[in-house]
Chain A
């Protein structure tokens, strides 16, 4: 594994660079690195990366609940770029346990976390144990509340192997949705047909809906839940003593 001297220093250096430059750094620094492809507009990462390093490692989490359009799109991307995409699935016995205990739509009654834990996070964790670094399409403008400070490079302590490190790159962190779509159009990048039907953020079929004008894209996901307060953050507050 490549050693990174100081994530904060590198983030400072990369923060002002383009997504392509950040990707080039990531792909040239790490041999064993994979792109996490959600089947949405993060396809731009594949387009950019394929021009830098054709032997891309790409994986998609197949929760079993994606839209048919997303499955078709993942397949179209595989063929268009002539790449292998690892389709990562949840452990069948865990899904069966959840469904048997709580039914197929428990997320509407509890919240989405238990289902996401089984269908996305556990398989993601298993997949990330196999790599030294990963690349995501996270952007700051996707959620002013929770992603306002998304860095372009992170020391991913949550998913790292025991006593090891995992580096996470977010090359699109500083881009806006408009920049992503300008890139898609300018470069004839294939995109998920759901976007033409008003879907901005695309996840599992039962948990994703189109958004209207003026609505933030996060309103298209888990709309029946209140926005989660990330209370583990540390924020100094100026209070008059």
Chain B
């Protein structure tokens, strides 16, 4: 299995806050060592590797994870807690999961 993490850099060069938070959580949980490659999606350069991967997989948010397994279809994870559970086989708390859902989704219509 090969895991690529794509994280974003804003057009002004500043780092994406959520990408940083996810990376920090993964570091604290010892999960970063499971990531084979970290690729940057530079919003100022649509030819940057991360932006090209986002376009290839029709992804419009960051960070995201590309999971490649021999003989299987490539899987893309845009929801961190799902990636942690389904790929890394680890647990996250309900509070963390709800916070991620609320931060990443416009649910004001409810």
- Give chain A's interface residues, CB within 8 Å of chain B: 8, 36, 38, 42, 61, 113, 116-117, 120-122, 124-125, 136-138, 142-143, 146-147, 157-160, 162-163, 201, 203, 218, 221, 230-237, 239
Q: A121-B101, A234-B8, A234-B61 are in contact. List 9 more A-B contacts (CB 8 A).
A: A36-B110, A38-B110, A61-B110, A136-B109, A158-B104, A231-B18, A232-B16, A234-B62, A239-B11
* Neighbouring A residues of B93 by C-beta, 8 Å: none
- Give chain B's interface residues, CB within 8 Å of chain A: 8, 11, 16-18, 41, 43-46, 51, 54, 58-62, 77-79, 82, 85-86, 94-95, 98-110
Report how far A61 CA is from B106 CA in the complex, Å. 16
In the complex, which of the residues B43, B60, B77, B106 contacts A237, with contact meaning CB atoms closer than 8 Å?
Answer: B43
Interchain CB contact under 8 A, B16 and A231: yes
Is chain A's binding surface mostly helix, strand, loop or mixed?
loop
Report how far A125 CA is from B81 CA in the complex, Å. 14
In the complex, which of the residues A36, A38, A163, A233 contacts B61, with contact meaning CB atoms closer than 8 Å?
Answer: A233
- Beta-carbon nearest neighbor of B55 in chain A: A236
Interchain CB contact under 8 A, A231 and B17: yes
